[in-house]
Amino acid sequence: MQILHPFAGSIQRYFDDIADPDRYRPDHCPQCEAKRPLTCHGFYRRTLVDAAFDGVIRVRRYLCCSCKRTVSLLPEFVLPWIRFSISVIAMFLAARLLNGFTFVAAARAAAQAVMPYQRGQFWIRRFQKQAPTLSLALVPLEAPGHPWDPAADFVSRALRMLESIGWIAAHRFLFSQLRVHLLGWPACLAPAGRRITLTAACPAP
Ligand SMILES: [Zn+2]
C-alpha cells in the first residue's frame, strides 16, 4: 500500500529527508491498524521527470510485523504509476486546456522542450475523463464563496479548482482521504490503487 510522505519540499530536500528512517516512520499500520511502529523494509526505486530532474528516486518502504504487508511513503510531488511530476503535468494541462496554448507552447511551459504528442494527449484524455470526479471530490477544499461558474464544463472547472487549491494540496487530499488519482487509476489498479492479484506490473507512462 502506498501512503504519502508528509513532505512537499524540493526533490533535493526529499533525498536528504528519506536518509533518516525514523523521521516519518508510521507509528501504526494503515492496513490492519496495529498500533505498533512499522519496521524499515528498504526502498523501491522509481523514475521521475520534473522540470529540473530526470532520474531515479528511492521510495522508503516499511513492513508491518502484524499483517506482514508493506507500506511505502510516496513523496507528494509524484503520482503513483506516472513517471512525470505533478507540477510538470499541472503546468502542461493548465497551459493547454485553461490558457489555450498550442501543444508545443504548453509543453515548453511545462519545461518539456521535446514532448511526444502521444504523451501530452494521454494526459489530456485521462484528465478529461477524470474531471467530473475531481470537480465533485474537491468541493470540500473550495474557498468559501468562490464564484465557480455553474455553467462551466467539468474540465475548466476542475482546472480552476486545482489552480486555486494548489495541485499538490489537492492531490494530498484526494489520495490520502479518497484514494482518488488526479489522472484516474489504470484498470489494473482500479478502483483504489491496489493490485488485486499479483499480475504483471502496469507499464509506466
Ligand atoms: Zn498491518
Written as one letter, the residue type at 120 is G
* Measured torsion, CA atoms of residues 109, 162, 187, 121, in degrees rounded to the nearest 10: -30
Average pLDDT across the chain, whole number = 89
Q: What is the pLDDT of residue 193?
A: 80
Q: Are strands 70-74 and 53-63 parallel, antiparallel or unpaired?
A: antiparallel
Q: What is the pLDDT of residue 160?
A: 93
C-alpha cell at position 142: 473550495
Per cent of the chain over pLDDT 70 is: 92
Residue 202 has pLDDT above 90, yes or no: no
Distance 116 CA to ligand 1 centre (A): 42
Distance 27 CA to ligand 1 centre (A): 11
Q: What is the pLDDT of residue 56?
A: 96
Residue 84 DSSP label = B
Distance 36 CA to ligand 1 centre (A): 9
Distance 73 CA to ligand 1 centre (A): 15
Average pLDDT, stretch 118-145? Answer: 93
Distance 165 CA to ligand 1 centre (A): 33
Distance 176 CA to ligand 1 centre (A): 17
C-alpha cell at position 178: 479518497
Q: What is the pLDDT of residue 67?
A: 93
Of the two residues 5 and 176, the one the predictor is more confident about is 176
Distance 79 CA to ligand 1 centre (A): 23
Lookup result for grid cell 513492513: 63
Task: Encode pLDDT of 153-173 as tens digits.
Answer: 999 999 999 999 999 999 999
Q: Which residues pair with 39 in a beta bridge?
A: 63
Distance 198 CA to ligand 1 centre (A): 19
Residue 166's Cα: distance from chain center in Å? 12
Distance 59 CA to ligand 1 centre (A): 19
Distance 64 CA to ligand 1 centre (A): 5
Cα→Cα distances 153→132, 156, 157, Å = 9, 6, 6
Average pLDDT, stretch 17-31? Answer: 89
**What does the alpha-carbon distance between residue 44 and residue 48 come to, in Å, rounded to a whole number?**
13
Q: What is the pTM of this model?
A: 0.89
Distance 61 CA to ligand 1 centre (A): 13
Residue 186 has pLDDT above 80, yes or no: yes
Residue 84 has pLDDT above 80, yes or no: yes
Sheet containing 39-50: give its strands across: 2-4, 70-74, 53-63, 39-50
CB 79 within 8 A of CB 183: yes
Distance 83 CA to ligand 1 centre (A): 28
Q: What is the pLDDT of residue 8?
A: 67
Residue 204 has pLDDT above 90, yes or no: no
Task: Encode pLDDT of 89-124 as tens digits.
Answer: 999 999 999 999 999 999 999 999 999 999 999 999
Q: Are strands 70-74 and 39-50 parallel, antiparallel or unpaired?
A: unpaired
Q: Is 5 left (phi over 0), alpha (psi -120 to 50) or beta?
A: beta
| Nearest CA-CA partner of 115 in 127, 128, 101 | 101
**What does the alpha-carbon distance between residue 26 and residue 39 come to, in Å, rounded to a whole number?**
9
